[in-house]
Amino acid sequence: MCSVARSSARPRLISHTAPINGCDATENTNNFLKINLPMKYLKILSLLICLPGITFSQTKPTVPAKPKLVVGIIIDQMRYDYLYRYQDKYSEGGFKRLLGQGFLFRDTHYNYIPTYTGPGHSAVYSGTTPSYNGIIANDWYDRELGRSVYVTEDTTVQGVGGTGKGGQMSPRHLLSTTVTDELRLATNRRSKVIGIALKDRGAILPAGHLPTAAYWFDNNSGDWITSTYYTKVLPEWVKSFNQQKMSDQYLSKPWETLLPLDTYQGGLTNGSAYRKPYKGETSNKFPHDLPGLKAANGYELLRETPFGNTYTLDFAIQAMQAEKLGKGTNTDFLAVSFSSTDYVGHQFGIESIEVQDTYARLDREIARLLTYLDQHYGKDNVLVFLTADHGAVETPGHMAELKAPGGIFNNKGLKEKLNDALSEQFGKGKWLLDYQNLQFWLNDDLISAQKKSKAEIADAVCQHLRKMAGVYRVLPVANLSKNTNEQLNDQLFNGINPVRSGDVVMQLLPGWFEGSIPAAGGTTHGTGYDYDTHVPLIWYGWKVKHGSTGNLVHITDIAVTVSDLLNISHPSAATGQVLSDYLLTR
């Protein structure tokens, strides 16, 4: 409803130029409304304008046709239940704000195995599974090179801003395009795309092949670095940021709990044996003496504290400011991943005080980010999605104390033991080239030379493994097929790339994970069970209505949904389904 300027001398003055029922009003508040009516009728008109329920034609704010900025947030190792499990420690402006104003998909799952960081980030942004995008794990055996390769390693490039192999990274192992690539292609590279994470793979894979930039954490210097795949020199704003040495500042004081210690409830209490201490730490109790531990751990210690997330957001905000993201005529994209949640989870376990405190602090960082976006862009100009790259399992030792299922699959010396068994059965030789991530690569040359069939050797591997504690099933990859109406089988199939994957794949029982016995504690992930596949998915901002749905959706649906909302092509190998009809206000 239009407003009328109030003045004791001139009650009929108009303070804006909006039309009133088709009559243009003057902007000058010193002139009277020029309508040829007696004074008493003008008074009546003035009162009618301000009556509740009386509407007049006026200019209303409209949601723009496209967002100025898309912000993709991945929280490494965030289980779905963390949205509510630690809700009593959350502020009103972080996760609660997203839930209260955004749209939540309550049953979002990964639809492949294994659930690791590299495959997770790739699936979110490529809209497809490892079978197509090629990111089958964080590491895998490369038959041509005869060695294990890391998901983002690239020996053809050099680090920029740091020294050592930590900078020799690129997305060259990613076999398909990403939604960020498609945005760059659709705008002839005018849209800016930047990926940021402590983990190199958390920054590089979301940013895709064609980004403006990707930055990650250098463990040697504590600085933000990139590689010559992206640029030859760091931008001045990155150099200036690094010169502040904020990484030193965050490690200069002990890690105390954000909230009173007695408010942190959970199975892994302060001092629990299943909370692994830091290297050089004699006690695993709060507070953690970060200044004292820095000498033994270096800058890697920052990654394993909640302050790594704070450092990430500090840099992301600086990137938005320096690169003027969202300030041009084209939609820009910031892909940011919070990695410290994963490091803390691995170290201390999902019920630990450390994990609870990390999420309490991350909640405040999410609030800081949302407030920044609202203040500098406006909620209706920014599209935000928040999800995770995988979940995590309860600590097996703790579960055993509770008489619940779980355990450690003892993989110590497994490759050597299997080779010995195969040599005894088929003749001496290196029948097994490698074992990683519950996959086994057989020696094709030896099999051919010994005139054996791969199926015969694979079956022998399966028979040996089935005898081991914690094994649910073992299958030759050649026997896998899709659309079997058996969830775990389909997940395995979706995680197999015909060129890169091994010849035999194994699944463990629920609640079990690989490790050496006895296990020291902590947690991990990688299976197709609910605790690893069920993750949050919340949308917020531009055109997004408030609500939720319990319908099953998959992580591969995110990229095609963003593509649909931006009216650009889907990523090249996308298999996901568009979710826009759930989200949009009508």
**Residue 246 C-beta-side C-alpha neighbours within 13 Å:** 18
Measured CA to CA, the distance from residue 340 to residue 302 in angstroms comes to: 8
Binding-site residues from annotation: 138, 199-201
pLDDT recorded at residue 135: 99
pLDDT exceeding 70 applies to what percent of the chain? 88
Rounded to whole angstroms, the Cα distance separating 490 from 545 reads: 33
Q: How far apart are CA 558 and CA 389, in angstroms?
A: 12
Active site residue 117: yes
Cα separation, 566 vs 412, whole angstroms: 49
Strands 504-508 and 439-442: antiparallel
Distance CA 83, CA 535 (A): 10
Domain spans in the chain, listed from the N-terminal domain onward: 1-60, 69-395+530-583, 401-515
pLDDT at 30 > cutoff 50: no
Average pLDDT over residues 407-413: 92
pLDDT at 26 over 60: no
Confidence (pLDDT) at 517: 63
Taking alpha carbons only, the member of 370, 401, 294 closest to residue 98 is: 370
The amino acid occupying position 7 is: S
Q: What is the DSSP letter of 169?
A: B
Lowest mean pLDDT among 15-24, 67-76, 322-331: 15-24
Among the residue ranges 47-61, 360-374, 400-414, the one predicted with the least confidence is 47-61
- Write down the CATH number for the domain with range 401-515: 3.30.1360.150
In this structure, what are the phi and psi dihedrals at residue 408, rounded to the nearest 5 degrees? Answer: -115, 125
Three-state DSSP state, 129: coil
Among 73, 120, 93, 124, smallest CA distance to 309 is for 73
**Which distant-in-sequence residues (6+ apart) come within 8 Å of 228 by Cβ?**
157, 158, 159, 160
- Mean per-residue pLDDT, 61-73: 92
* CA-only gyration radius of the chain, Å: 28
CA distances from 92 to 87, 96, 545 (A): 10, 5, 19
CA distance linking residue 564 with residue 580, whole number of Å: 7
Q: What percent of the chain has pLDDT over 90?
A: 80
Q: pLDDT at position 318, please?
A: 99
**Which tokens sit at 567?**
């009216």
pLDDT of residue 33: 39
pLDDT of residue 296: 94
Q: Is 468 exposed, middle or buried (0-12, 13-18, 19+ CB in 10 A)?
A: middle
- Nearest of 288, 330, 336, 333 to residue 311 by alpha carbon: 336
Report the b/e string of 277-297 with b at 16+ CB within 10 A.
Answer: bbeeeeebebebebeebbeeb
User: Does the pLDDT at position 183 exceed 90?
Assistant: yes
Report d(CA 437, CA 493) in Å as an integer: 15
Digit-coded pLDDT (tens) for 470-479: 999 999 999 9
Which of 242, 244, 246, 229 is CA-nearest to residue 195?
229
Fold agreement between 69-395+530-583 and 401-515: no
**Average pLDDT score over residue span 74-81:** 99
- Could you tell me the two tokens for 8? 């004791």
Residues annotated in a binding site for substrate: 138, 199-201
Nearest to 514 by CA among 471, 474, 477: 471
Q: What is the pLDDT of residue 35?
A: 43
Tell me, rounded to whole angstroms, the distance of Cα 195 from its chain centroid.
11
Domain 69-395+530-583 in CATH 3.40.50.720? The answer is: no
Does residue 290 carry a pLDDT above 90? yes
Distance between CA 174 and CA 566 in Å, rounded? 23
**Backbone dihedral region of 427: left (phi > 0), alpha (psi from -120 to 50 degrees) or beta?**
left
pTM to 2 decimals? 0.89
Lowest mean pLDDT among 51-60, 79-88, 346-355, 398-407: 51-60
Catalytic residue among 117, 177, 212, 533: 117
Taking alpha carbons only, the member of 339, 259, 329, 254 closest to residue 304 is 339
d(CA 539, CA 543) in angstroms, rounded, equals: 10
- H/E stretch holding 551 reads strand 547-554
Q: Is the pLDDT of residue 6 over 90?
A: no
Is the Cβ–Cβ distance between 254 and 290 less than 8 Å?
yes
The continuous run of DSSP H or E covering 423 comes out as: helix 414-426
User: Tell me, what's the pLDDT at 368?
Assistant: 99
Q: How far is CA 378 from CA 74, 216, 335, in A?
A: 22, 28, 19
